[in-house]
């Protein structure tokens, strides 16, 4: 199976409602997101010209439009957090989600956004989201798909 990965960086703040610890408070991270796409096609020798199954430029465009632009320098809070802190609704940079904006939930949200953008023959295979240099959540496609069979 052929895979390609592109790495993205963005700054976002969040808080985890109901968590007993420092993450219950609004705080920010310099996120690093690794997005891996896989080809559903097998190539016995080489990929015909131009020589790649997906253009990194296209992947960059999709991730930038779906994730980076909407979330960079924003504050993500859950609807539960907002109900408990109604005064925050006046802030101009808030994204309100139905779920808590944990790294795991962020990946699941990103998956929904990016899967809609995949062209025929390509699928979203894995994502890794670093909250800090040494802490990350990872999502991987469960079924290896037809290319691996």
Quote the CA–CA distance of 17 and 77 in Å, as a whole number: 8
Question: What's CA 16's distance to the chain center, in Å?
Answer: 18
Looking at residue 1, what is its pLDDT? 85
Rounded to two decimals, what is the model's pTM?
Answer: 0.91
pLDDT digits (tens, 9 = 90+) for 77-117: 999 999 999 989 888 999 999 999 999 999 999 999 999 99
Quote the CA–CA distance of 47 and 42 in Å, as a whole number: 9
Q: Which domains does the chain have, with CATH numbers?
A: 3-148 (3.30.479.10)
Question: What is the distance in angstroms between the CA of the first residue and the CA of the last residue of the chain?
Answer: 9
Contact 147, 39 (CB under 8 A): yes
Looking at every residue in the chain, the average pLDDT score rounds to 93
């Amino acid at each position: 199976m052929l895979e390609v990965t592109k790495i993205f960086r963005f700054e976002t703040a969040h808080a985890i409602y109901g968590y007993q610890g420092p993450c219950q408070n609004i705080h920010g991270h310099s996120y690093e997101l690794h997005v891996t796409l896989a080809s559903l096609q097998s190539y016995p020798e080489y990929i015909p010209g131009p020589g790649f199954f997906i253009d990194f430029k296209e992947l960059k465009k999709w991730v930038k439009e779906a994730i980076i632009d909407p979330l960079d320098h924003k504050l993500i809070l859950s609807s539960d957090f907002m109900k408990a802190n109604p005064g925050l609704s006046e802030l101009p940079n808030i994204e309100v989600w139905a779920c808590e904006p944990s790294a795991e939930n962020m990946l699941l949200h990103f998956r929904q956004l990016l899967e809609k953008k995949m062209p025929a023959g390509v699928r979203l295979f894995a994502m890794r989201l670093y909250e800090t240099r040494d802490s990350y959540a990872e999502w991987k496609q469960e079924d290896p798909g037809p290319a691996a069979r």
